[in-house]
Structure 1
Amino acid sequence: MHTTPTPESIRARRAAFRQLHASGCFLIPNPWDVGSARYLASLGFKALASTSSGAAWARGQPDGGMPLMQVLEHLRELVAATELPVNADFEKGFADDPEGVARNVALAVDTGVAGISIEDSTGNAAAPQFEFALAVERVRAARAAIDASGQDVLLIGRAENFFLGRPDLDDAIRRLQAYAEAGADCLYAPGIATREQIGAVVRAVAPKPVNVLMGRPSELTLDDLSALGVRRVSVGGALARAAWGGLQRAARLLAEPGRFDGFEGAADHHALNQLMAN
């Protein structure tokens, strides 16, 4: 049910989340609202992660378009939606300077999340990735803010090279290693996709855990990723895109030929009602 979690519940979730990163490989799917969070929890996943893109699209905004206060409220909603730990897609920390990142990370900790991801993308097309030294200081500031809170929240450092059209594996690894040194608990280079790339990142930051994004069809399975040493696997906005794909197909059939067969495969009304009533 959608209830305000207790401090004891939050501590337990954070402890469980840290334990998940200690060994093995787990899936951490990305809901975009309370309903999708509750459905994913019903399937037995052990943790959830927010998606900046999915949440923004649900509000009629582009990825990155949600302001800080709206994102914080969204995180509170996800934390209250289930009893699972939630990892926050906290974009670039909603600030360029380390001091701003620290201030905003402290606010994110207060939402009850169990993990916070910080990107090194700037949002500026002319200079899309923070300069190396500043990027490292931003991670160090996030770490200091978490430590100052006294809360057991994991920090995930993200190197956005591949997402930004800069597929330089050596630079991504250099950044991830520096983020690990600056206090990141888990490392993440969204966009790496081959066994060679994934294996190289895992080896480079060992023994710290690595998150891999699987947002597209792939020949790799969860077992394959586990064998490569990956600790956790997220899907970003892929579930939201899949939902949007179903909406688009059905709505286009309504709009153009006036047909209703786009509802084939739609979720059952009564099953959804029962899920949300529990």
Structure 2
Amino acid sequence: MSDLAERRAAFRALHERGCFVLPNPWDRGSARYLEHLGFAALATTSSGAAWSRGRPDGSATRDEALDHLADIVAATTLPVNADFEDGYGATADQVAESVSLAVRTGVAGLSIEDATDGVTLDLEVAVERLRAAREAIDASGHDVLLVGRADGFVNGSPDLADVLTRMRAFAAAGADCLYAPGVDDPVAIRAIVEAAGPTPVNVLVGGRSERTLADLAALGVRRVSVGGALARAAWGGFQEAAAALAEGRFDGYGRVAAGADLNALFGDRPEAGQPG
């Protein structure tokens, strides 16, 4: 699926039936490894990418975000969904401009949050920005999937009724997929799926959970992402090992990958994709 049009078509097809896991790599190596495991598509994580640069989530400039998207697209042959935060624009026109640039990186999908700096936007403003993103994608001539995000549950305003209203409004504005990170209760997930109607729903599983992919599929969920969870898992192993070293011990490595295995994996082919 090295051709971008084929990747985008394959990504859209994944949303038509069933339920799939959309894992979130934070750099080229983690993207290559996830592809090696057989996942059908990947999604970027703004938090994981920021931490790899020694920065907090939300601190990336638009140019840095675009460079990161192009980097991940070039590292894999799989479709890549972009965590595009709030669209990198103070106005709807600026969001449209940013989305046009994101499409050029080769992504197969991108999400637009309904909050800026952790503050939920008025519904009318959020819809206007999402509609501008939709128009920018359509004008590009590329089949990039648009995800509308309602971030209230991760921004301190866990109002399910408001989230349901936003889900319906985002679908009407042209979102191809709907996403409300932070919603974990099965009843709430089912309500979101019902409010979304035929529009596919993404659910975030950002930590340890007894729930399975089959459980989420039974609720009507179409795709499951993990946000920064894989990056945090990697950081957890690093923190444990580094803390032991700081105490003069060498027993903190836990489960470590074999260098020979990583060399073999990353040496099996040249860089795969190219943005365009």
TM-score when scaled to structure 1? 0.95
The answer to whether structure 1 residue 212 and structure 2 residue 203 are counterparts is yes
- 1:52 deviates by 0.1
Counterpart-to-counterpart distance in 1, 2:206 and 2:257? 22
Deviation string, structure 1 residues 139-172 (Cα, Å, up to 9, x no partner): 0000000000010000000000100011100001
- 1:26 deviates by 0.2
Q: 1:15 maps to what in 2? A: 9
The answer to whether structure 1 residue 80 and structure 2 residue 67 are counterparts is no
Q: 1:137 maps to what in 2? A: 128
Deviation string, structure 1 residues 104-125 (Cα, Å, up to 9, x no partner): 000000000000100011106x
Q: Are the counterparts in 1 of residues 100 and 137 from structure 2 also a CA contact under 8 Å? A: yes
Q: RCO (CA 8 Å, sep 6+): is it higher in 1 or 2?
A: 2
Task: Please tell me the residue identity of whatever aligns with 2:153.
Answer: F
Counterpart-to-counterpart distance in 2, 1:264 and 1:19? 39
- 1:37 deviates by 0.1
Match of 2:48 among 54, 60, 80: 54
Task: Please tell me the residue identity of whatever aligns with 2:10.
Answer: A
- 1:219 deviates by 2.3
Task: Please tell me the residue identity of whatever aligns with 1:104.
Answer: S
2:120 alignment partner, SS class? coil
Q: 2:257 maps to what in 1? A: 267
Counterpart-to-counterpart distance in 1, 2:224 and 2:135? 26
Deviation string, structure 1 residues 190-215 (Cα, Å, up to 9, x no partner): 00001101101001111110000000
Matches within 5 A, 1:122-161: 122-123=116-117, 128-161=119-152
- 1:240 deviates by 0.2
Q: 1:249 maps to what in 2? A: 240
1:117 alignment partner, SS class? strand
Q: 1:116 maps to what in 2? A: 110
Counterpart-to-counterpart distance in 1, 2:241 and 2:252? 4
The answer to whether structure 1 residue 29 and structure 2 residue 23 are counterparts is yes
1:263 alignment partner, SS class? coil
TM-score when scaled to structure 2? 0.96
- 1:264 deviates by 2.5
Q: Are the counterparts in 1 of residues 193 and 220 from structure 2 also a CA contact under 8 Å? A: yes
- Using the aligned pairs only, state the percent identity: 61
- 1:218 deviates by 1.7
Matches within 5 A, 1:219-230: 219-230=210-221
Task: Please tell me the residue identity of whatever aligns with 1:168.
Answer: D
Please list every run of at least 4 consecutive aligned residues from structure 1 whose deviation after the TM superposition is greater than 3 angstroms.
none
- 1:261 deviates by 1.2
Counterpart-to-counterpart distance in 1, 2:193 and 2:23? 20
- 1:45 deviates by 0.1
Match of 1:166 among 144, 154, 157: 157
Q: Are the counterparts in 1 of residues 47 and 57 from structure 2 also a CA contact under 8 Å? A: yes
Counterpart-to-counterpart distance in 2, 1:202 and 1:104? 29
Give unmatched runs, 5+ long, in structure 2: 269-276
2:153 alignment partner, SS class? coil
Counterpart-to-counterpart distance in 1, 2:38 and 2:251? 31
- 1:216 deviates by 1.3
Task: Please tell me the residue identity of whatever aligns with 1:160.
Answer: D
- 1:135 deviates by 0.5
Q: 1:42 maps to what in 2? A: 36
- 1:259 deviates by 1.1
